[in-house]
Structure 1
Amino acid sequence: MATKNTVAVLGPGGTGGLLAALLSRSGHRVICLARDETAETLRSTGIQVRSGQFGDFTAPVEADTELREPVDACLIAVKHTTLDAALTRVPPAALGDALVVPLLNGVEHPAALRGRYRPDRVAPAVIRVESTRLAPGVIQHGSPFTEIDLAGDTVPRPRLDQLAALLTSAGVTARVREDETAALWAKMAFLAPFALLTTRYGLPLGEVRARHRTELESLVAEAAAVSRACGAPADPDQALARYDAFPPGARSSMQRDAEAGRPLELDAIGGALLRAAGRHGVPVPVTTRLLDELRAAGH
């Protein structure tokens, strides 16, 4: 490794914990930002990863409740439901020249982060991975891939390239996308139907695509229409082919949250889709109905 970087990870859960461990294992300095109890556990035991792709290993990390020094990058790996509270752990003055890299679902968070931090240092990213925190500092990585698309229309391209190289050095498949809107909507248009349907019916993807095929096709078409209206390309046939290629037992993170009684990212995913549809006059009746049903169920 040519250069040792210092990376802060806000939210060392399933996604953040995996990335923190991979970066530490590859020789970078990692500071995890979390609650007192979690930070103490991470300082004493590190992060244990169980992964078919990367093997089983334990990586040491530093941990604190708040960022207290400049870093090269700060990965934001919390969920929308805890974002506002979590950001108090990352004071703007402490960041220095760091890139702020949100790995959140949805499309609305970059604007909020640019209102808090330097706009030309906020680099939205899209991650494709299935990784779960079993306990503080214990991560189960289930997918045979860990892929990140980096973007940031106002971020200097060399900084994005450096970040991609940093992640690549840790074993992540990372690339820079030219169009931030396209990168964010590519995931949103795929994730929204998957999350809403699996959560609404409490079924894995294989059963959803077999038993609720018409709804799936309608949701995919609606999400694609909104994506195109927002200026991002979308191919519903390609999206359906991806759904059909997914393992039948796949479950969305929203579904897992619902089963565990945790708050859902309904507003960040379904709500954001409806707001974008409303701005552009795109009808989304099936998405609207599913969101209403989930909210009526108390989510």
Structure 2
Amino acid sequence: MKPQLRICIAGAGAIGCTLAARLSASGQTVTMLARGVTHDALQRHGVRLTDLHSTLQVPIVSSDDPATLGEQELIFLCCKAPGLAALLPDLHPMIGPQTLVVPVVNGVPWWYFHGEGGRFQGSTVKAVDADGQLADAVDLGQVIGCVVFITAHSPAPGMAHSSTPHLMIVGELNNTMSPRLERLRQVIEAAGIEARSTERIRDQLWTKIIANLTSNPLSVITGATLEQLYGDPKLRELVSLTLHEALLTAAAYGARLNLDPHTFLEHGTAMGAVRTSMLQDYEKGRPLELAAIGDAVIELAERMNLPMPITRHIITLARFRSEHTPLRSC
């Protein structure tokens, strides 16, 4: 029997709506923290998801005030990395002593050096948490690491479309297996999402970081899809150079990656005409996750005296384009 929990999805973008629809359809009690037109859409229509499994439309309790939702047992943070500083302090009314907080966020997480026991134990990743605000906002003993391989987009508020399989990998920050980790895995699996638990969450994290780093910033510069980024010979060369810089950095931090560069590039090409989430954000004039996906990796490389010249240039160009020639959706 799957565990029954009080679950809140904080953030109602494509990933948040995907999780909310799947978890709610599996019988869990799910609420959503959302604001503005998204909150209004959820109240009127519930959350709507079309994916490889089915088309779902489920009623959902939505609020723009965390205090009205009450204490939760499980909170999925599904906002973009730039929004964490504003979101986390607001969640205090929902967090009790046993609440688990699961950040579903791209890039290097603020918790990276907490619980890993290395020589940087307890350090702050300045690019994502310059003043330690995120580390102070939530007891890190209540945080579970999460790496999400779900490709989805939101065509309208409260809606999500996905045409790829769903996979979520969860792990304790201190690299242990625990009953609460297994309970979390069971909840996700029961929702029709492939779920794995691991003793080495940072290995899986680096795999996702590298996927984001090699595709997202370059997509903003070029407007290219995943198929073009990884398949076009001119772009593929840039992707390969960034890939090797990132692999060297990951290895310096002891990551054990089952990642063959050729297979990685072929898999990216096979994803087809998918536009990255960063490109979609750029086109809508939203803040980009360049700090978490790019700057933080460069910061980690600098700690190990590793140069990342190609990655630096790509991040610089992506940031320049986002600041000086933003596109707006019609």
Q: TM-score, normalised by structure 1?
A: 0.92
Q: Is the 8 A contact 1:36 1:64 kept in 2?
A: no
> 2-side partners of 1:281 and 1:206: how far apart?
33
Structure 2 unaligned spans of 5+? 113-128, 324-330
Letter in 1 for 2:156: A
> 1-side partners of 2:160 and 2:25: how far apart?
14
Q: Is the 8 A contact 1:257 1:264 kept in 2?
A: yes
Other structure's SS at 2:111 match: helix
Letter in 2 for 1:176: S
- 1:83 to partner: Cα distance: 1.4
> 1-side partners of 2:64 and 2:111: how far apart?
23
CA shift digits 1:213-240 (9 cap, x unpaired): 221111110010111112212466x144
CA shift digits 1:93-129 (9 cap, x unpaired): 6334111000101123225644321221101201011
Task: Tell me: CA distance 1:61–1:193, structure 2 relative to 1, closer, same or farther (3 Å).
Answer: same
Q: Is the 8 A contact 1:108 1:268 kept in 2?
A: yes
> 2-side partners of 1:98 and 1:278: how far apart?
35
> 1-side partners of 2:218 and 2:201: how far apart?
26
> 1-side partners of 2:254 and 2:151: how far apart?
28
After TM superposition, list the pairs within 5 Å mapping 1:120-159 onto structure 2.
120-143=141-164, 145-154=165-174, 157-159=178-180
Whether 1:227 aligns to 2:284 is no
Structure 1 unaligned spans of 5+? none
**Cα RMSD, aligned residues only:** 1.9
Q: Is the 8 A contact 1:120 1:156 kept in 2?
A: no
Q: Which moved more, 1:225-234 or 1:31-40?
A: 31-40
After TM superposition, list the pairs within 5 Å mapping 1:68-107 onto structure 2.
68=67, 69-91=70-92, 94-107=95-108
Other structure's SS at 1:190 match: helix
Paired residues, what number? 296
Q: TM-score, normalised by structure 2?
A: 0.84
Per the alignment, residue 197 of structure 1 pairs with 218
Q: Is the 8 A contact 1:125 1:151 kept in 2?
A: yes
Q: Is the 8 A contact 1:125 1:149 kept in 2?
A: yes
CA shift digits 1:199-226 (9 cap, x unpaired): 2211112222323222111111001011
After TM superposition, list the pairs within 5 Å mapping 1:253-268 onto structure 2.
253-268=277-292
Letter in 1 for 2:203: A
Q: Is the 8 A contact 1:10 1:78 kept in 2?
A: yes
- 1:40 to partner: Cα distance: 3.5
Task: Tell me: CA distance 1:156–1:67, structure 2 relative to 1, closer, same or farther (3 Å).
Answer: farther
Task: Tell me: CA distance 1:225–1:64, structure 2 relative to 1, closer, same or farther (3 Å).
Answer: same
Per the alignment, residue 263 of structure 2 pairs with 241
After TM superposition, list the pairs within 5 Å mapping 1:3-152 onto structure 2.
3-51=3-51, 53-68=52-67, 69-91=70-92, 94-110=95-111, 113-143=134-164, 145-152=165-172
Per the alignment, residue 298 of structure 2 pairs with 274
Per the alignment, residue 238 of structure 2 pairs with 215
Other structure's SS at 2:288 match: coil
Other structure's SS at 2:49 match: strand
> 1-side partners of 2:214 and 2:305: how far apart?
19
Per the alignment, residue 126 of structure 2 pairs with none
Q: Which moved more, 1:241-250 or 1:19-28?
A: 241-250
Q: Which moved more, 1:97-106 or 1:37-46?
A: 37-46
Letter in 1 for 2:265: Y
Q: Is the 8 A contact 2:48 2:158 kept in 1?
A: yes
Q: Is the 8 A contact 1:199 1:258 kept in 2?
A: yes
Letter in 1 for 2:253: C
> 2-side partners of 1:57 and 1:6: how far apart?
20
> 1-side partners of 2:2 and 2:101: how far apart?
22
Task: Tell me: CA distance 1:239–1:128, structure 2 relative to 1, closer, same or farther (3 Å).
Answer: farther
CA shift digits 1:117-168 (9 cap, x unpaired): 122110120101111122222221222x110000123476111100000001
